[in-house]
Amino acid sequence: MLISETTIDVRYPDCDRMGIVHHSVYAIWYEIARMDFFAKMGFSFSDADALGINPPMVDLHMQYRSPVTYPGQVTVKTSIVSYAPKKLELRYETWYNGNIVAEATTFHIWTGPDMKSFNMEENLPEIYEKIKAAAE
């Protein structure tokens, strides 16, 4: 089972007037982590982009346990929760100073060059095998 680890520096303007990273920033972190996960799985953004394949997000669920500040660095661990020919669910853990400080799941559908639902198993079986391998 693939669990990618993506380290991201907190940026100064990520922090709000409370001095903690604003909750909206985590969505950006999870996207960076997801792009890294796909690349490590063997299906990079550039690969997908060249084929006209996209994984639009239909559901983003984030939990926040404890705050993150600047300067600092987080590591996001990303893995597959579930998959099917036309969809994908990912899970993220945000680690900071040795603790899990936030978690998330994202749910994506695959779309093709026509922007409509795309069956990965039928149309890109070699990529679907990579998803399978990463999930197990």
Closer CB to a copy of itself, residue 24 or residue 82?
24
- Residue 47 CB, nearest distance to a copy of itself (Å)? 11
CA distance 133 to 93: 20
Nearest Cα residue to 43 out of 128, 136, 135: 128
Dihedral over alpha carbons 122, 127, 128, 134 (to 10 degrees): 180
- Residue 57 CB, nearest distance to a copy of itself (Å)? 5
CA distance 37 to 41: 6
Closer CB to a copy of itself, residue 103 or residue 124?
103
**Token match 């994506």: residue?**
108
| Contact pattern from residue 68 through residue 97 relative to a copy of itself, giving x for each residue in contact according to CB under 8 A and a dash for the rest | --xx--------------------------
Where on the chain is the footprint of a copy of itself (CB under 8 A)? Answer: 9, 11-13, 15-19, 22-25, 27-28, 31-32, 35, 44-46, 54, 56-65, 70-71
